[in-house]
């Protein structure tokens, strides 16, 4: 059986493609951040915070890259967008605290947003 011609294959909406690309970028950032934490960060506390940021960025990046192309409904894409904002708030806050001396005060809000987004995704999956 041959694949359908390219013009007949359904394409993901632009927002879904952007979410998938953002997920791939998050995963790449996570690998670089983890390598930096393992090889360049001397302070064990900084290493732990950076590794935590990397784990969350990687896991959620992979989830976005996998789930976003299948997200046909606007609500689902909105939930995935909230997930992206949550991981940026959490992991980004931890990384910014290390690299720029910024406050990590956004981390709890980012974590809370990730939790809510996953719960909304679960509710949406049950409704489909």
Instruction: Give the pLDDT of residue 5.
Output: 63
Residue 37 belongs to a domain: yes
Instruction: Give the pLDDT of residue 12.
Output: 87
Instruction: Give the pLDDT of residue 4.
Output: 60
Residue 96 belongs to a domain: yes
**How many folded domains does the chain comprise?**
1
Residue 2 belongs to a domain: no
Instruction: Give the pLDDT of residue 128.
Output: 78
Residue 9 belongs to a domain: no
Give the span between the Cα atoms of 24 and 84, in whole angstroms: 11
Q: What is the dihedral of CA 15, 78, 66, 25, to 10 degrees?
A: 60
- The whole model's pTM is what? 0.89
Integer angstrom CA distances of residue 71 from 32, 46, 106: 28, 36, 27
CA 57, chain centre distance (Å): 5
Band of residue 42 on the pLDDT scale cut at 50, 70, 90:
confident
Band of residue 38 on the pLDDT scale cut at 50, 70, 90:
very high
Answer whether 77's CB lies under 8 Å from 105's CB.
no
Mean pLDDT for all residues in the chain: 93
Residue 6 belongs to a domain: no
Token look-up 């990590």 returns 104
Q: For residue 92, give its domain range.
A: 14-127
Residue 1 belongs to a domain: no
């Amino acid at each position: 059986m041959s694949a359908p011609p390219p013009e007949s294959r359904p394409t993901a909406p632009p927002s879904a493609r952007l979410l998938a690309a953002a997920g791939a970028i998050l995963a790449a950032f996570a690998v670089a951040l983890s390598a930096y934490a393992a090889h360049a960060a001397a302070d064990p506390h900084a290493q732990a915070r950076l590794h935590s940021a990397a784990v969350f960025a990687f896991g959620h990046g992979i989830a976005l890259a996998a789930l976003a192309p299948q997200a046909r409904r606007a609500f689902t894409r909105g939930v995935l967008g909230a997930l992206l904002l949550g991981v940026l708030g959490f992991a980004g806050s931890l990384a910014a605290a290390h690299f720029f001396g910024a406050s990590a005060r956004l981390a709890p809000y980012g974590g809370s947003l990730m939790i809510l987004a996953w719960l909304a995704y679960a509710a949406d999956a049950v409704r489909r």
